[in-house]
């Protein structure tokens, strides 16, 4: 069969050669045809790269999944394959106040993740060769025309990923850990609703951002009901809905202007602590980590969600974002601070507000977003199942 097909191709090729090639090219054309040999001459063994046993493909090749993880159609009915850590994209950007483009975040971050593999020298684990089975589920296929409907779809698709049937012995089933690639920060709300549903209690949110994201809609979005949900207020709604743990949740990296000094008071009333970007001068990176640990309390009891708005990083290092604010953390500071959370029970994380159309030619922001996720995955693996 193979040889018959190859034979036909050769014939078509030869005919095309006769029709298209100029006379003096005829011999050359036929001479280049690689498919005239018989089946016995087809290669049967390939010169495989030494690392192929680990699923190795060259960094620059392969179909884009996060860090070359296997793609699983997680939402297809009848999928029985289980996983410990799932990556999903939520390419929603209809809630932004300034630059759009975060709908290209998931594909940009996946592209930026292509060189990630192997051993994390600071955390001390081989992130992709461990007890944890990791998959990339692709993107949630929501419809991007009706914000409320899209948010409900994101919530339902996330719930589906997290749900597990009760085990036969009645033990609590392991809920997979989740990494969400945004999307604008609105996606935090439907994802947190799904987390709250899966875990049955409020979640401690560590929110890295230059903005508070707790704009009060009763002040700033009074007229159109649909505008009550936007990328400036996911944590307002999350707190009001009882999704976030009061007192242990926090914003880190705050530095944007506010409409009004009362925004700080309103934020405090929602149960959040604040570590400002400028605190790094007085506290240093270790001091910031210590302050975070004080707020979080004991590691064993923790249930932590990390939500990273890429605009927490200085725009000189992460320009591709919707609402950049100067005066932010450097990438090395951010990675160091993140690793200070080792040992906490990080059940999920997101990196949002990456808008690749505004990135540099060198894809700085996408690389950074992917590296931050890698640090988080490494800590998830280090802590164990
Ligand atoms: C958080 O807890 C404090 C102290 O118990 C309480 O005064 C406040 O109302 C709580 N806030 C929320 C949003 O639950």
270 CB near ligand 1 (under 6 Å): yes
Q: Is 235 near ligand 1, meaning CB less than 6 Å away? A: no
Cβ–Cβ contacts within 10 Å for residue 200, how many? Answer: 7
**Rounded Cα gap, residues 342 and 375, in angstroms:** 10
Tell me, what's the pLDDT at 123? Answer: 96
- Residue with the nearest Cα to atom 11 of ligand 1? 271
**Alpha carbon 181 to its chain's center:** 3
Q: Is 26 annotated as a binding residue?
A: no
Determine whether the annotation assigns residue 309 to a binding site: yes
Are 150 and 103 within 8 A, CB to CB?
A: no
Distance (Å) from CA 202 to ligand 1 centroid: 13
Residue 48 CA to residue 247 CA, distance in Å, equals 54
Tell me which residue of 377, 374, 358, 383 sits closest to 98, measured CA to CA. Answer: 358
User: Residue 256's pLDDT is what?
Assistant: 97
Q: 203, 204, 198: which is closest to 159 by C-alpha?
A: 198
Confirm whether residue 300 is marked as ligand binding: no
Consecutive 10-residue runs of the chain (385 residues): their mean pLDDT?
38 39 43 52 69 70 93 89 96 96 98 92 95 97 95 98 85 90 98 97 98 94 90 98 98 96 96 98 98 96 96 98 98 98 98 98 98 98 95
How far, in Å, is the centroid of ligand 1 from the Cα of 348? 24
Give the burial class of 297: count Cβ atoms within 10 A of its Cβ; 0-12 exposed, 13-18 middle, 19 or more buried.
middle
Is the Cβ atom of 239 under 6 angstroms away from ligand 1? yes
DSSP at 253: E
Rg (C-alpha) for the chain, rounded Å, is 25
- Which CATH code for domain 72-383? 3.40.800.10
Is residue 230 lining ligand 1, measured as CB closer than 6 Å?
no
Which ligand 1 atom lies nearest to the CA of residue 239? 13
List the strands of the sheet with 304-309, edge to edge: 134-139, 85-90, 177-182, 346-352, 304-309, 204-208, 249-254, 272-276
pLDDT, residue 53, reads 54
Domain ranges of the chain: 72-383
The pLDDT of residue 284 is 98
Query: What pLDDT does 22 receive?
Result: 42
Is 185 a known ligand-binding residue? Answer: yes
Is 59 near ligand 1, meaning CB less than 6 Å away?
no
Answer yes or no: are the C-beta atoms of 167 and 75 closer than 8 Å: no
Q: Does 278 contact ligand 1 (Cβ within 6 A)?
A: no
As a whole number of angstroms, the distance between CA 211 and CA 254 comes to 6
Q: Give the ligand 1 atom nearest the CA of 246.
A: 1
Contacts of 356 (CB under 8 A, 6+ apart): 101, 104, 105, 107, 108, 111, 320, 363, 365, 366
Nearest to 345 by CA among 197, 156, 159, 195: 195
**What are 244's two structure tokens?**
């976030």
| Cα–Cα distance measured from residue 337 to residue 349, given in angstroms and rounded to the nearest whole number | 15
Burial class (CB in 10 A: 0-12, 13-18, 19+), 352: buried
Q: What is the pLDDT of residue 49?
A: 66
Residue corresponding to tokens 């046993």: 53
Looking at residue 10, its pLDDT comes to 40
CA–centroid distance, residue 247 to ligand 1 (Å): 8
DSSP β-bridge partners for residue 337: none
Verify whether ligand 1 is closer than 6 Å to residue 273 (CB atom): no
Distance in Å, CA 302 to ligand 1 centroid? 19
The residue contributing the CA closest to ligand 1 atom 13 is: 270
pLDDT at 353: 98
Q: What is the pLDDT of residue 50?
A: 63
Q: Which helix (H) or strand (E) holds 110?
A: helix 105-112
How many CB atoms within 10 Å of residue 330? 15
Size of the chain in residues: 385
User: Residue 182: helix, strand or coil by DSSP?
Assistant: strand
| Local structure of 372: helix, strand or coil | helix
Q: To 10 degrees, the CA torsion angle through 170, 172, 174, 177?
A: 150
> pLDDT value at position 175?
95
Q: Beta partners for 351?
A: 181, 308
Mutate to test the pocket of ligand 1, among 243, 245, 246, 250 (most ligand atoms within 8 A of CB): 246
Residue 135 CB contacts under 8 Å (≥ 6 apart), including other chains: 69, 70, 71, 72, 74, 81, 83, 85, 86, 87
């Amino acid at each position: 069969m193979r040889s018959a097909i190859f034979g036909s191709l050769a014939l078509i090729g030869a005919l095309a050669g006769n029709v298209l090639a100029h006379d003096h090219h005829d011999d050359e054309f036929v001479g280049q045809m690689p498919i005239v040999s018989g089946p016995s001459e087809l290669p049967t063994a390939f010169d495989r790269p030494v690392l192929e046993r680990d699923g190795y493909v060259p960094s620059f090749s392969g179909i884009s999944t996060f860090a070359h993880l296997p793609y699983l159609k997680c939402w297809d009915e009848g999928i029985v394959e289980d996983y410990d850590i799932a990556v999903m994209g939520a390419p929603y950007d209809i809630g932004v106040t300034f630059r759009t483009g975060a709908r290209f975040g998931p594909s940009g971050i996946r592209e930026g993740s292509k060189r990630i593999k192997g051993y994390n020298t600071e955390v001390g684990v081989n992130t992709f060769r461990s007890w944890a089975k990791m998959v990339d589920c692709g993107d949630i296929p929501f419809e991007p025309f009706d914000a409320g409907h899209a948010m409900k779809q994101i919530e339902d698709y996330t719930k589906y990923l997290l749900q597990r049937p009760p085990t036969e012995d009645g033990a609590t089933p392991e809920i997979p850990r989740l990494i969400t690639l945004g999307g604008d920060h609105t996606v935090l709300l439907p994802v947190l609703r799904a987390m709250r549903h899966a875990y049955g209690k409020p979640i401690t949110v560590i929110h890295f951002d230059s903005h508070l994201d707790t704009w009060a809609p009763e002040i700033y979005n009074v007229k159109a009901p649909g505008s009550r949900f936007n990328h400036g207020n996911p944590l307002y709604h999350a707190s009001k809905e009882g999704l976030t743990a009061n007192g242990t949740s926090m914003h880190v990296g705050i530095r944007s202007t506010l409409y009004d000094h009362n925004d700080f008071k309103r934020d405090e009333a929602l149960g959040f602590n604040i570590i400002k970007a400028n605190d790094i001068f007085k506290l240093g990176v270790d001091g910031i980590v210590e302050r975070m640990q004080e707020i979080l309390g004991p590691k064993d009891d923790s249930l932590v969600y990390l939500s990273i708005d890429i605009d927490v990083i200085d725009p000189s290092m992460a320009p591709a974002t919707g609402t950049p604010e100067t005066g932010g953390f450097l990438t090395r500071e951010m990675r160091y601070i993140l690793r200070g959370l080792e040992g906490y029970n990080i059940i999920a994380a997101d990196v949002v507000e990456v808008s690749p159309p505004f990135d540099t030619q060198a894809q700085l922001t996408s690389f950074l977003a992917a590296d931050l996720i890698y640090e988080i995955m490494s800590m998830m693996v280090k802590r164990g199942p």
